[in-house]
Amino acid sequence: MTDETITEPETGGEAGPTRPEAPPSAPALGGGGVGTVARRLEAILLVVEEPQSLVSLATAVSAPVPAVRQAIEALVEDYDGLAGGPRRGFELREVGGGWRLYVREEHDDLISEFVNAQAPSRLSQAALETLAVIAYKQPVTRGQVASIRAVNVDSVVRTLLARGLITEVFTDPETGAIHYGTTDALLVNLGINSLDELPHISPLLDDGANGFEEIVR
């Protein structure tokens, strides 16, 4: 009977076949770090009305700008379906130097039909007043309209956008503020051909031309 010698595999020789390296992917959204920042960003992005810069987002979630940038990139890839999950019906888009959630363009008609079906046939007094300010002072920001009316107009502006009576004309590249203007749908509803046919505002004010022009200048 002979002894059998059991030898351990050599570790210093030629290595066996190795697995190919996985392609680079977006930073993980689970656990801590990027995942925590990403979840906090989502909470903020769900409620903002205007694009937010990386600095403002970093301040809101109490995180360094590089960490916010990394989390934003991860969210973009996640929503676009590039991180292994489904492509979402919304996207995280950079507009005017800021970031905001938007419905994907291919769903615009669907959203428009849904919102119009839910909207009441008549506008509220608040909506009519806001629409008048935008019609006379366009292009105008939400903040400027709120200053003139001395009330928050966020929900009213959303209603007017959903009804197709106003639209986003442009975004200020420095402040990220969206400027609004009226659409042709307003002209159709008013039965006029252009905004030049709107009545002059001065006779409609208690103090004539004084006041309105000063406030909205």
pLDDT band at 97 (very low <50, low <70, confident <90, very high): confident
pLDDT above 90: residue 71: yes
Query: Are 52 and 176 spatial neighbours (Cβ–Cβ below 8 Å)?
Result: yes
Per the CB < 8 A criterion, the answer to whether 73 and 99 are in contact is no
pLDDT, greater one: 183 or 5: 183
**Is 42:63 a contact under the CB 8 Å cutoff?**
no
Give tens-digit pLDDT for 113-167: 887 776 556 788 889 999 999 999 999 999 999 999 989 898 899 989 988 899 9
Entry pTM: 0.51
pLDDT at 47 over 80: yes
Q: How far apart are CA 155 and CA 146, in angstroms?
A: 11
Q: How confident is the model at residue 81 (pLDDT cuts 50, 70, 90)?
A: very high
Compute the distance between CA of residue 62 and CA of residue 68 in angstroms, rounded to an integer. Answer: 9
Say which residue, 92 or 12, is predicted with more confidence: 92
Residue reference for tokens 């676009």 = 80
**What tokens appear for 181 in the block?**
């203007």
Return the closest-CA partner of residue 148 out of 162, 129, 163. 129
β-bridge pairing 166-171 and 178-182: antiparallel
The whole-number pLDDT of residue 95 equals: 86
Token code pair at residue 39: 């979840």
Strand partners, 178: 171
- Using CA atoms, how far apart are residues 173 and 50, in angstroms rounded to an integer? 12
The residues facing 92 across adjacent strands are 101
Instruction: Write the CA distances from 164 to 112, 129, 149, 186, integer angstroms.
Output: 8, 16, 21, 8
Predicted confidence (pLDDT) at residue 101 exceeds the cutoff of 80: yes
Is the pLDDT confidence value at 17 over 90?
A: no
CA atoms of 26 and 213, how far apart (whole Å): 51
CB 167 within 8 A of CB 183: yes
